[in-house]
Amino acid sequence: MTSNNRTSELGFFAEHYAAEYLKSKGYKIIGHNYRKPWGEIDIIVEKEGIVIFVEVKASKKDIAGFEPELRVNADKRHRMARIARTYLSDNHYSEDQPWQMDIVAVAFVKERGVAKIRHYKNIE
């Protein structure tokens, strides 16, 4: 398996874990992998009337200072917001539809056979 395939496999599992986590917390999944030329939103959910655009970040280990959520920089947040606004427009939401962007970080702890999940809500 090539490195790129391992990376995409890690991302697939992380998105699955993140979606299951979100459902367990009462979020309704309304979309996956919404793509535009400038980027992608991993998961789109709704809770309490708010549309939430979720970026999932994963790592194979949970090491302080190298947490996966640290890879969501200002440029990535800007692209996420642009995609979010496009999604709302493409799907005919009203202009006053409340929305936000979240990050779900999944760190796999292979030695213990678990995944550690951190959820950051309403990132700017």
3-state percent breakdown (helix, strand, coil) of the chain, nearest 5: 35, 35, 30
pLDDT at 63 over 70: no
Backbone Cα Rg of the chain: 15
| Distance, CA of 104 to CA of 43 (rounded, Å) | 10
pTM for the model stands at 0.87
* pLDDT at site 1: 43
In order, the DSSP letters of 4-21 are HHHHHHHHHHHHHHHHHH
Please state, in angstroms and rounded to a whole number, the distance separating the CA atoms of residues 10 and 61: 11
Residue 65 has pLDDT above 80, yes or no: no
Q: Provide the residue range defining the domain that includes 80.
A: 3-120
Q: Per-residue pLDDT tens for 1-31?
A: 444 444 578 788 899 999 999 999 999 999 9
User: Looking at per-residue confidence, does 32 or 6 come out higher?
Assistant: 32
Count of domains for the chain: 1
pLDDT 10s digits, 68-113: 677 788 889 999 999 999 999 999 999 999 999 999 999 887 666 6
Sequence-ordered alpha helix ranges (H) in 1-124 = 3-24, 74-90
* CATH code of residue 93: 3.40.1350.10
